[in-house]
């Protein structure tokens, strides 16, 4: 999925970059890239998913 940003009226390149970074963060792409940067064993992946599920259950209580 390509994320495209069009310049708004009188928008500086810095503002465009800020908007682009916010969109990427919102989509979760930065976390995904960091997670896929190194190989993760399947057992570690399951362990991480279990910890995440446990924290979700703790928040519900």
Q: What is the pTM of this model?
A: 0.56
Answer whether 59's CB lies under 8 Å from 42's CB.
no
Would you list the domain boundaries of the chain? Answer: 14-60
CA-to-CA distance for 45 and 18, rounded, in angstroms? 32
Q: What is the pLDDT of residue 17?
A: 94
Indicate if the pLDDT at residue 58 is higher than 90: yes
Predicted confidence band at 55 (pLDDT cuts at 50, 70, 90)?
A: very high
Average pLDDT over residues 5-22: 92
pLDDT tier at 1 (50, 70, 90 boundaries)? low
Q: How many whole angstroms separate alpha carbon 40 and alpha carbon 47?
A: 11
């Amino acid at each position: 999925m390509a994320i495209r940003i069009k310049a708004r009226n009188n928008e500086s390149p810095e503002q465009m970059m800020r908007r682009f970074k916010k969109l990427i963060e919102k989509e979760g792409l930065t976390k995904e890239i960091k997670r896929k940067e190194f190989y993760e064993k399947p057992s570690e992946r399951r362990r991480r998913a279990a910890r995440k599920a446990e924290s979700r259950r703790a928040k519900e209580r």
